[in-house]
A and B are shown apart, each in its own frame.
Chain A
Amino acid sequence: MNKYDPKGIPHTTPRQSATFTQDINSDIRRAAATGIYDIRGGGAKRKVPSFDDLLFMGASISRYPLEGYREKCETSVTIGGLHAENPIELDIPITIAGMSFGALSGPAKEALGRGASAAGTSTTTGDGGMTPEERGHSDKLVYQYLPSRYGMNPNDLRKADAIEIVVGQGAKPGGGGMLLGQKISDRVAEMRNLPKGIDQRSACRHPDWTGPDDLEIKILELREITGWKVPIYVKVAGARPYYDTTLAIKAGADAVVLDGMQGGTAATQDVFIEHVGQPTLAIVRPAVQALQDLGMHRKVQLILSGGIRSGADVAKAMALGADAVAIGTAALIALGDNDPKWEAEYNALGTTAGAYDDWHEGRDPAGITTQDPELQARFDPVEGGRRLRNYLKVMTLEAQTIARACGKNHLHNLEPEDLVALTMEAAAMAQVPLAGTNWYPGKPNTSF
């Protein structure tokens, strides 16, 4: 570009607006062209304070570590022992979050069951009911009880190892969902009692109860129908974690599933995903505080989800007081979602590997988030299950490595005292000191 005009006057450097960025401008142009907001899958893509802003200090003279290959570091967790006759016993504290048959293909659901079972953990149904393949391949299956009640029936309810009443999810606290018509195959339509090819709306709240007092009665009904045998979880979005956790416990939940804004969804408005809810890092301590205030910490289990990716994230969640975590998006990536080997096809869809999030359109090149038979055929559920098992094993080994380095013989023995924060925001949210200081931002009577 010329630095001077013909008269010799210097040009100013072209300057992009920090307010009207190229991304924002493309959003405006798309809205102007279509008249409708952008729908996409996944969780928040914006950068928010996260577990990456925390570090473990490890052992030294004042703390001594466990020998990595000699001394045991337990990873098992029991969920639902408070009220259920048959609580869930998991080998590892990493569970598979609810994802629907409909949003995902049948083979993808099968792979999740295979992988979770091989790793000794549970998987979860979604908005669309329980498929025989999923039940058959999942040693421990949690049955989601959602507002839409698509596919909900008492026979499947009684086949479940636990029931998860879904009040909200982190990607869209207070929002429902929509499965677009192109993903409604004959089988999906039949399971949901709706005609093929029409958009299927999922309600944002349950049709037969409102508020915590009603929830208590709903839990009673579900316990009566299932003979008080299986645990009942309550899943809430990371909106008001202290109060929601308190009310879920008061209503009689055996476990609380708490989902931060990085948690994925099959489809909702981009504006919802990016602007409603709280980061996962910000919600765990208030929820743990609620459990502690009620004397229920470690009695009612806290399962944290929303952007969990590695053993380090698992260990940090445990250290902040969670009993287990759940993964969704990470599990799909382990299966092969957004794999660069499909780059040419992602390009043809106007995107690139890693950024593909139009899961609701049913054209997933990886054959995972689709009901298209040809695309589904690309995905091998046996290989997918093996990949998921490997990933879960690696996450577990990573978390154990960190726990041993902190001198802990069980992941649950990790504690906030093991952590420091790299930023003031993360320190305030996690209620741990800023690295290199004794300062807990936001906590009275501490100083820099």
Chain B
Amino acid sequence: MQTIDLSETGLRAMNKLLHAQSEDTNQTAWEIINPKGAHAIACGLNAPIEVTVKGSTGYYCAGMNQQATVNIHGSAGPGTGENIMSGKIVIEGDASQYLGATGHGGLIVVKGNASSRCGISMKGVNIVVQGNIGHMSAFMGQSGNLVVCGDAGDALGDSCYEARFFVRGKVKSLGADCEKKEMRKEHLTLLKSLLDEAGIDADPTEFTRYGSARNLYNFDVDNAGAY
């Protein structure tokens, strides 16, 4: 285990060290102490390493992550895991707004709640939230899966494309062109695998699936009020 004290090493030197890890590094376990809510911690990683941040983080922790696993032992600031390509991010506490924004792949797990715009413009990432999520989540979501074990706020999935949403609790309101969908066998299988990968014990049959009604896919003046 390599330990970096962020308060002594500084952000630039710390990220440089993590970026220097290659595909076949044998230094695969890293611990960052004293993060004190700093921004851009462990962003841009691209190696099969596991980084554990002992405390809460600021904006864009693990942004654009590739391959790495990043554990946050605290709460995470805005834009955590933005544009994640692959790998895994696990947040033990709550996540602020824009979690996993535009993420292309990988998995983000939140043990607490996630704030507004969770999964905004998601492009393939899977996000599993054990608690609730805030308003305008998955706005313009293109692909990937958003799993919510609690409730969802206003305007879930507004203007979404092919992203799927699974919510166990209540949805305060659905956004434009988002509708309730049939939960078929393949969706139950998918949901179970996502919950298992996230390490969350929940019954897939208790969830409801939502997705795009596909009415706004091509501009139609009769739908102008929905835009």
Q: What is the interface of chain A, defined by CB distance below 8 A to chain B?
A: 34-36, 148-149, 152-154, 157, 178, 180-181, 192-195, 197-199, 201, 203, 207-209, 214, 217-218, 220-221, 224-228
Contact = CB atoms under 8 A, between A and B. Distances in A.
A208 B142 CA distance: 16
Given A193-B142, A207-B101, A224-B15, A218 B44 contact: no
A220 B46 CA distance: 18
B219 A154 contact: no
Contacts of B140: 201, 203, 207
A180 B219 contact: yes
Nearest to A158: B44
B105 to A, nearest CB: 10
Contacts of A195: 161-162, 217
Contacts of B78: 208-209, 214
Contacts of B117: 207
A207 B218 contact: no
Nearest to B227: A201
Given A154-B83, A207-B102, A217 B43 contact: no
Contacts, number: 104
20 contacts: A34-B221, A36-B224, A152-B102, A153-B83, A194-B142, A201-B140, A203-B121, A208-B102, A217-B60, A218-B59, A220-B39, A221-B39, A221-B40, A224-B12, A224-B15, A224-B43, A224-B44, A225-B43, A227-B16, A228-B12
Contact of B217 (A152, A199, A225): A199
B139 to A, nearest CB: 8
Given A154-B64, A198-B218, A218-B60, 18 more contacts: A36-B219, A148-B121, A153-B64, A153-B83, A178-B219, A181-B218, A193-B104, A193-B124, A195-B161, A201-B140, A207-B102, A208-B60, A209-B79, A214-B59, A221-B40, A221-B60, A225-B44, A225-B64
Contact of B102 (A149, A197, A224, A227): A149
Band of interface residues on B: 35 or more
Given A154-B85, A217-B60, A220-B40, A208 B218 contact: no
B83 A217 contact: no
Contacts of B64: 153-154, 157, 225
A154 B120 CA distance: 18
Given A198-B218, A221-B60, A207 B120 contact: yes
Contacts of B66: 154
Interface of B: 11-12, 15-16, 19, 39-40, 43-44, 46, 58-60, 63-64, 66, 78-79, 82-83, 85, 98, 101-102, 104, 117, 120-121, 123-124, 139-140, 142-143, 159, 161-162, 217-219, 221, 224
Given A208-B102, A224-B40, A201 B159 contact: yes
Contact of A154 (B11, B44, B217): B44
A34 B220 CA distance: 10
Given A198-B217, A207-B120, A224-B12, A153 B142 contact: no
Nearest to A153: B85
Contacts of A154: 44, 46, 64, 66, 83, 85
A226 B40 CA distance: 12
A176 to B, nearest CB: 10
B142 A217 contact: no
Contact of B58 (A149, A181, A217, A226): A217
Contacts of A148: 121
Contact of B39 (A197, A217, A225): A217
B108 to A, nearest CB: 13
B40 A217 contact: yes
Contacts of A180: 219
A199 B224 CA distance: 14
A331 B158 CA distance: 37
Nearest to A182: B218
A180 B143 CA distance: 19
A292 B160 CA distance: 44
Contact of B63 (A181, A192, A225, A228): A225
Nearest to B121: A207
A220 B217 CA distance: 36
A193 B11 CA distance: 33
Nearest to B120: A207
Nearest to A178: B219
A138 to B, nearest CB: 22
Nearest to A213: B59
B48 to A, nearest CB: 16
Contacts of B104: 153, 193
B87 to A, nearest CB: 12
B36 to A, nearest CB: 15
A193 B143 contact: yes
Contacts of A225: 43-44, 63-64
A266 to B, nearest CB: 15
Given A198-B161, A199-B218, A208 B40 contact: no
A209 to B, nearest CB: 7
Contacts of B123: 149, 193
